Amino acid sequence: MMLLGRGLDARDNQTRQMQDAVSNVEKHFGELCQIFAGYVRKTARLRDKADLLVNEIYAYAATETPNLKVGLKNFADEFSRLQDYRQAEVDRLEAKVVEPLKCYGTIVKLKRDDLRATLTAKSREAKQLSQLEKTRQRNPSDLHVIAENELQRATMDATRTTRHLEETIDNFEKQKIRDIKNIFSEFITIEMLFHGKALEIYTAAYQNIQNIDENEDLEISRRMLRKDEEEDEEEDEDDEEDDEEDEFDATKEVR
Amino acid sequence: MMLLGRGLDARDNQTRQMQDAVSNVEKHFGELCQIFAGYVRKTARLRDKADLLVNEIYAYAATETPNLKVGLKNFADEFSRLQDYRQAEVDRLEAKVVEPLKCYGTIVKLKRDDLRATLTAKSREAKQLSQLEKTRQRNPSDLHVIAENELQRATMDATRTTRHLEETIDNFEKQKIRDIKNIFSEFITIEMLFHGKALEIYTAAYQNIQNIDENEDLEISRRMLRKDEEEDEEEDEDDEEDDEEDEFDATKEVR
């Protein structure tokens, strides 16, 4: 009686502990999955904004003087290239972090079934063992040898099942740690790849901005303004107007 | 007549061109400001998600075996440190990119006033010049000398104003290019600072994950399971139950 009660409580506790462990993993992997998915979504939103920025820089560059135009266009080219890497980051995080975490729900379910089956087998064998024990106690003489043999076989079965249960738990723990290490390593590697590319690209982009020759552009914008005046003059040769009173440009008269 | 008409058209064109240039800058800097602000906001949202991730990793780590617990906690520490740098990135982008672009609205308005004032002065002087010209044509003899002097002075005034106008445009162009170079350089520098820190932090974080000793944790989880059983047994010594039939743990009997 004492032995049986003790065994039952221990098993109950073990079962509860294992089920708690599996539920805990299920819960936290589920939450990690959701938050990582949110992180990926926000990264994609950041890329969207960066794309808008690229387009606006192109649009503005098109209206500017040559050096500024080229500098901004080159910057936008590089910045756009970085967004391709950000897209790759998003795709990789989706495939290597979010998806495996999502799949974990199924893995945990299978593990739980496996555990349950092993526990059922163990309980069935334990019942058999206890019945044999009782039989032996009730018939200590004639059935002794048969019961002893059966008891021995039942004990061996129970030992095998116990070992299988321990292996099942072990495998679950092993796979869990391996998966966590794998998922977090992938996360870090993917992020590092992006940050490394970002550093490389921004280094080039920085030069594009620094190389904008402001003096040359000022010279050009001055020339453009004057050229415009001269063209205007040429046009006016054929197309004179008579508005002499109101507003008047002195520049021409002075030269 | 021909000279006057020509001058007026040229000035109109020049004015239009300058006003277009100022409006163009106003428009594009405004749009850049809005998109950069959006980019900063999305970066802040990404940091929010990362903060949630940090909390969830801490929560999960607390439920795990020692090695996994420490590894995840250390990773979360590093990842949390990275979010501080992301916050610094957000604050700096706000101060050095969005704010200067926002201020540009005021700068452009002042520039426009400056240009308008100069153009008004130029137009007034031009009018004066044209009247003196007319006076000289109507009175070629007696007023000749006085008109000639006044004409000379008016011409000098007009030249000075023209130079001032050219300087105003020049300054506007110069400041614009300088501001663009400055704002984009700041943007790149701030981003690079963050990406550099990210690389540094992820390198440490990667080690935290790689260092998780799965075998030691498996040994510990096995021991914990057995210790639990043993504790259970000890408890049962004082607290026996009588449920012998239903479920039963064979492990103890076997040992």
DSSP one-letter code for B98: I
Separation of alpha carbons A9 and A15, rounded Å:
10
pLDDT for residue A241 is more than 60: no
Task: Say which of B161, B191, B232 has its CB closest to residue A9.
Answer: B232
Which residues on chain B are in Cβ contact (under 8 Å) with A53? 32, 35-36, 39
Tokens read off for B176? 């614009």
Which residues on chain B are in Cβ contact (under 8 Å) with A180? 68, 72, 212
Determine, for residues B52 and A63 on separate chains, whether the beta-carbon distance falls below 8 Å: no
The shortest C-alpha distance from B141 to chain A (Å) reads 22
Q: How confident is the model at residue A104 (pLDDT cuts 50, 70, 90)?
A: confident
CB atoms within 10 A of CB B230: 11
Determine, for residues B56 and A5 on separate chains, whether the beta-carbon distance falls below 8 Å: no
CA dist A250 to A158, A175, B106, B151, B157, Å?
A: 111, 86, 30, 12, 10
Q: What is the pLDDT of residue B35?
A: 97
Of A193, A239, A176, give the one whose Cα is nearest residue A85. Answer: A193
Determine, for residues A3 and B206 on separate chains, whether the beta-carbon distance falls below 8 Å: no
Tokens read off for A202? 């921004």
Q: What is the pLDDT of residue A10?
A: 61
Determine, for residues A248 and B126 on separate chains, whether the beta-carbon distance falls below 8 Å: yes
Determine, for residues B209 and A221 on separate chains, whether the beta-carbon distance falls below 8 Å: no
Separation of alpha carbons B137 and B117, rounded Å:
31
Q: How confident is the model at residue A55 (pLDDT cuts 50, 70, 90)?
A: very high
Q: What does R_g of chain A's alpha carbons equal in angstroms?
A: 39
pTM of this prediction? 0.80
The four Cα atoms A63, A65, A71, A76 give a dihedral, to 10 degrees, of: 0
Determine, for residues B191 and A209 on separate chains, whether the beta-carbon distance falls below 8 Å: no
Give the residue with greater pLDDT, A194 vs A146.
A194
Q: Which amino acid does the sequence have at A87?
A: Q
CA dist B90 to A7, A155, B42, B187, Å?
A: 60, 67, 10, 11
Residue from B73, B201, B247 to probe the interface with A (highest A Cβ count within 10 Å): B247
Average pLDDT, rounded, for chain B: 81
CB atoms within 10 A of CB A123: 19
Tokens read off for A171? 């495998």
Which residues on chain A are in Cβ contact (under 8 Å) with B10? 228-229, 232-233, 236, 249, 251-252
Q: What is the pLDDT of residue A7?
A: 52
Q: What is the pLDDT of residue B93?
A: 98
Separation of alpha carbons A76 and A59, rounded Å:
10
The shortest C-alpha distance from B88 to chain A (Å) reads 17
Q: Which amino acid does the sequence have at A47?
A: R
Q: What is the pLDDT of residue B124?
A: 77
Determine, for residues B195 and A195 on separate chains, whether the beta-carbon distance falls below 8 Å: yes
In chain B, the residue whose alpha carbon lies closest to the alpha carbon of A26 is B60
Tokens read off for B203? 């390198």
Determine, for residues A248 and B212 on separate chains, whether the beta-carbon distance falls below 8 Å: no
Separation of alpha carbons A254 and B156, rounded Å:
8
Q: What is the pLDDT of residue A230?
A: 60
Determine, for residues B57 and A32 on separate chains, whether the beta-carbon distance falls below 8 Å: yes
Tokens read off for B165? 């106008």
Give the residue with greater pLDDT, B160 vs B14.
B160
Which residues on chain A are in Cβ contact (under 8 Å) with B188? 202, 205-206, 209
Of B115, B112, B120, B114, give the one whose Cα is nearest residue B26. Answer: B112
The four Cα atoms B65, B71, B77, B82 give a dihedral, to 10 degrees, of: -140
Separation of alpha carbons B86 and A167, rounded Å:
44
Tokens read off for B240? 């026996």
pLDDT for residue A237 is more than 50: no
Mean pLDDT of B167-179: 86
The shortest C-alpha distance from A85 to chain B (Å) reads 14
Instruction: Encode pLDDT of A116-130 as tens digits.
Output: 777 777 777 778 778
Separation of alpha carbons B90 and B84, rounded Å:
10
In chain A, the residue whose alpha carbon lies closest to the alpha carbon of B26 is A60
H/E stretch holding B132: helix B99-138
Determine, for residues B42 and A38 on separate chains, whether the beta-carbon distance falls below 8 Å: no
The shortest C-alpha distance from A145 to chain B (Å) reads 19
Of A162, A20, A14, A169, give the one whose Cα is nearest residue B230. Answer: A14
H/E stretch holding A232: helix A214-238
Give the residue with greater pLDDT, A181 vs B140.
A181
pLDDT for residue B188 is more than 80: yes
Phi, psi of B212 (to 5 degrees): -65, 115
Residue from B17, B43, B251 to probe the interface with A (highest A Cβ count within 10 Å): B251
pLDDT for residue A139 is more than 90: no
What residues contact A140, with CB distance under 8 A and at least 6 apart?
Answer: none
Determine, for residues A42 and B42 on separate chains, whether the beta-carbon distance falls below 8 Å: yes
Q: How confident is the model at residue A143 (pLDDT cuts 50, 70, 90)?
A: low
Any idea how long chain A is? Answer: 255
Q: What is the pLDDT of residue B147?
A: 63
Q: What is the pLDDT of residue A113?
A: 82
Instruction: Encode pLDDT of B205-230 as tens digits.
Output: 999 999 998 888 888 877 777 765 55
| Full DSSP string of B69-90 | HHHHHHHHHHHHHHHHHHHHHH
pLDDT for residue B238 is more than 60: no
Angle at which helix A214-238 crosses helix B144-210, to 10 degrees, equals 140
In this structure, are residues B214 and A181 in contact, taking their beta carbons and an 8 Å threshold?
A: yes
Q: How confident is the model at residue A60 (pLDDT cuts 50, 70, 90)?
A: very high
H/E stretch holding B156: helix B144-210
Report the percent of chain A where pLDDT is more than 70: 78
Q: What is the pLDDT of residue B197?
A: 98
Q: Is B187 exposed, middle or buried (0-12, 13-18, 19+ CB in 10 A)?
A: buried
Separation of alpha carbons B212 and B155, rounded Å:
85
Give the residue with greater pLDDT, B215 vs A145.
B215
Determine, for residues A236 and B6 on separate chains, whether the beta-carbon distance falls below 8 Å: yes
Any idea how long chain B is? Answer: 255
Tokens read off for B113? 């006033």
Q: How confident is the model at residue B154 (pLDDT cuts 50, 70, 90)?
A: confident
Tokens read off for A87? 């897209």
